[in-house]
């Protein structure tokens, strides 16, 4: 199975949907209720799976959620095997997804640049207006 094959994309989608519901069932208090599965990459041989998770909150919530998910790997993998019928149930690796934080940071930077450009334009217009009246 090629990495970007239609079958692999379907498997990734099914595993992501299943993991999203399974993570809500995890009883570990370290796992935040605001944890979301952003993306899943199952290897073509179905042996490994990278699970990208994002958590609404600070660094402590992210670290605690990652520790809780790693602690509950056995339960999560067993539930995944029960829900998704695959030849092999992949070994799960949980990773923090920083794309949302990156996007928010880039939006703030863009807004700063636009605000600065507006100020420069306003100052330039004031100088041009003053020059005409002199």
Give the residue extent of every domain in the chain. Answer: 1-97, 98-134
**CATH superfamily of the 1-97 domain:** K homology (KH) domain (3.30.300.20)
15's CB contacts (< 8 A; 6+ apart) are 40, 42, 49, 80, 84, 90
pTM (2 decimals)? Answer: 0.75
Cα distances (Å, whole numbers) of residue 69 to 65, 75, 87, 92, 111: 6, 10, 24, 10, 36
**pLDDT by residue, tens only, the chain of 134 residues:** 556 788 889 999 999 999 999 999 899 899 988 888 999 999 988 899 999 999 888 889 999 999 999 999 999 999 999 999 888 899 999 999 877 778 888 999 999 999 988 888 888 777 666 555 55
């Amino acid at each position: 199975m090629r990495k970007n094959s239609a079958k692999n994309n379907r498997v990734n989608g099914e595993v992501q949907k299943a993991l999203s519901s399974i993570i809500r069932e995890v009883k570990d208090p370290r796992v935040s209720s605001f944890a979301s599965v952003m993306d899943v990459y199952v290897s073509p041989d179905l042996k490994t799976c990278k699970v990208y998770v994002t958590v609404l909150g600070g660094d402590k919530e992210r670290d605690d959620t990652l520790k809780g998910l790693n602690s509950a790997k056995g339960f999560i993998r067993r539930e995944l095997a029960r829900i998704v019928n695959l030849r092999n149930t992949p070994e799960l690796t949980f990773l923090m997804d920083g794309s949302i934080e990156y996007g928010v940071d880039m939006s703030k930077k863009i807004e700063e640049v636009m605000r600065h450009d507006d100020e420069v334009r306003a100052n330039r217009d004031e100088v041009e207006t003053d020059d005409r009246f002199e």
